[in-house]
């Protein structure tokens, strides 16, 4: 199959998924207990005030009419205005999304930097004390909740040692990276454990392959064998794992941003759910769905580069 045709086919598959997610999130938002009018006005508002705001927000229309308006707004690129913040949803998400993307990308880089060298050490020292130590430490990471790791890092390295800020986002790229280091490390800890275990198993499998024995028989230096032959082939399964866990990282960012007071879309989602802010909840879910779909697409492209047989 031509790679251009393959890419167009993958992009076309995103559209029905996007519409299906739109339907699901519209229904789930309406199933939340309470309503946005009560969240905005409180319990002591008069009936006239409640009726006026309900009509203003379009919540007096039928569910079907609201759904048609929601879909037509998506097709026009208009996601409405936030009920709680009284600003356009696109502007609100545009202000918050960079912090979440930087946090997620930073966490992914940290996880890869931690996992790849330790996976090589563990695989090359199989069943020896370095391997047992590395697997034991990462087993703790797999079994520890993300919020608990965040609280430990926040208490130890930020509140007591004062090596990092307690919360916030900072100004400028250097401050962003400094402020986001602990939140990113929190997300990266459990993710690095998954990557390390997967990559270690792949390396052990590739080391027993015939082409590796052939490379050794040609007299290639061990560093070249590990870098050119072993790592490239072992990364195929790991790249798939990275793509599949992008959604988990974005989901973990919701908790991490709340713990470290990072002004990203994760914290915005939590606040919007409590405020019953339907437009923000719907728009954020769609944006995150698009990001995850694009991450899957990039993962497949990288797989094609590592293994050309994938795109055939």
Query: What is the per-residue DSSP string for 178-204?
Result: HHHHHHHHHHHHHHHHHHHHHHHHHHH
User: What pLDDT is attached to residue 304?
Assistant: 72
> What pTM was estimated for this model as a whole?
0.79
- What φ, ψ does residue 113 adopt, rounded to 5°? -60, -35
Distance CA 187, CA 228 (A): 30
Contact 17, 289 (CB under 8 A): yes
Do residues 32 and 108 both lie within one domain?
A: no
Mean pLDDT value of segment 282-301: 81
Give me the percent of the chain exceeding a pLDDT of 90.
1
User: What pLDDT is attached to residue 7?
Assistant: 66
Do residues 170 and 220 both lie within one domain?
A: yes
Do residues 142 and 23 both lie within one domain?
A: no
User: What pLDDT is attached to residue 42?
Assistant: 67
User: What pLDDT is attached to residue 208?
Assistant: 78
User: What pLDDT is attached to residue 310?
Assistant: 54
Distance CA 180, CA 34 (A): 34
* Count of structural domains within the chain: 2
- How remote is the C-alpha of 86 from its chain's centroid? 27
Do residues 153 and 31 both lie within one domain?
A: no
Q: Considering the domain boundaries, does residue 88 fall inside one?
A: no
**184-217 pLDDT, tens per residue?**
998 888 888 888 888 888 888 887 777 777 777 7
Do residues 115 and 182 both lie within one domain?
A: yes
Q: Considering the domain boundaries, does residue 230 fall inside one?
A: yes
218 three-class SS: coil
- How remote is the C-alpha of 157 from its chain's centroid? 24
Q: Report the mean per-residue pLDDT for the chain.
A: 80
User: What pLDDT is attached to residue 307?
Assistant: 63
Residue where a domain terminates, one of 22, 43, 76: 76
**Residue 232 pLDDT more than 80?**
no
**Residue 311 pLDDT more than 60?**
no
Residue where a domain terminates, one of 30, 50, 76: 76
Do residues 266 and 166 both lie within one domain?
A: yes
Do residues 102 and 42 both lie within one domain?
A: no
Q: Which of 70, 61, 60 is nearest to 23 (CA)?
A: 70
Q: Considering the domain boundaries, does residue 87 fall inside one?
A: no
Partner residues linked to 81 by β-bridges: 88
**SS percent in the chain: helix, strand, coil, step 5:** 80, 0, 20
Do residues 121 and 239 both lie within one domain?
A: yes
Do residues 69 and 204 both lie within one domain?
A: no
Q: Considering the domain boundaries, does residue 157 fall inside one?
A: yes
User: What pLDDT is attached to residue 82?
Assistant: 84
Q: Which of 248, 251, 246, 254 is nearest to 294 (CA)?
A: 246
Do residues 179 and 68 both lie within one domain?
A: no
Domain around 230: 94-311
User: What pLDDT is attached to residue 2?
Assistant: 61
**Residue 270 pLDDT more than 70?**
yes
Mean pLDDT value of segment 241-264: 81
**Residue 269 pLDDT more than 70?**
yes
**Residue 1 pLDDT more than 60?**
no
Contact 193, 138 (CB under 8 A): yes
Do residues 70 and 169 both lie within one domain?
A: no
Residue 280: give its domain's CATH number. Answer: 1.10.3720.10
Do residues 36 and 112 both lie within one domain?
A: no
**Residue 166 pLDDT more than 70?**
yes
Higher pLDDT among residues 236 and 265, named by residue: 265
Distance CA 186, CA 197 (A): 18
**Residue 87 pLDDT more than 60?**
yes
């Amino acid at each position: 199959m031509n790679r251009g045709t393959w890419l167009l086919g993958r992009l076309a598959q995103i559209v029905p998924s996007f519409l299906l997610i739109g339907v699901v999130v519209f229904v789930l938002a309406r199933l939340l207990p309470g309503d946005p009018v009560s969240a905005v006005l409180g319990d002591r508002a008069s009936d006239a005030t409640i009726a006026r705001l309900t009509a203003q927000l379009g919540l007096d229309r039928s569910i079907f009419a609201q759904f048609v308006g929601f879909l037509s707004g998506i097709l026009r690129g208009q996601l409405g205005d936030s009920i709680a913040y009284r600003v356009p949803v696109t502007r609100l998400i545009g202000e918050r999304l960079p912090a979440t993307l930087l946090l997620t990308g930073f966490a992914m880089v940290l996880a890869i930097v931690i996992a790849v060298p330790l996976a090589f050490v563990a695989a090359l020292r199989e069943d020896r004390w370095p391997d047992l130590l590395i697997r034991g430490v990462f087993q703790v990471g797999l079994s520890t909740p993300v919020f608990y790791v965040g609280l430990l890092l926040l208490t130890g390295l930020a509140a007591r040692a004062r090596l990092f800020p307690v919360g916030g986002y900072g100004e400028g790229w250097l401050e962003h990276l400094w402020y986001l280091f602990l939140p990113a490390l929190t997300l990266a800890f459990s993710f690095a454990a998954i990557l390390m275990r997967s990559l270690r198993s792949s390396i052990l499998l590739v080391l027993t392959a015939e082409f590796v024995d052939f490379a050794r028989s040609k007299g290639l230096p061990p560093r070249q064998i590990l870098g050119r032959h072993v790592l490239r082939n072992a990364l195929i399964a790991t790249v798939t794992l990275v793509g599949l866990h992008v959604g988990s990282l974005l989901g973990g960012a919701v908790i991490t941003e709340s713990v470290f007071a990072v002004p990203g879309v994760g914290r915005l989602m939590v606040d919007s759910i409590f405020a019953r802010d339907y437009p923000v909840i719907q728009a954020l879910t769609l944006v995150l769905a698009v990001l995850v779909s694009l991450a899957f697409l990039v993962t497949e492209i990288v797989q094609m580069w590592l293994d050309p047989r994938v795109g055939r």
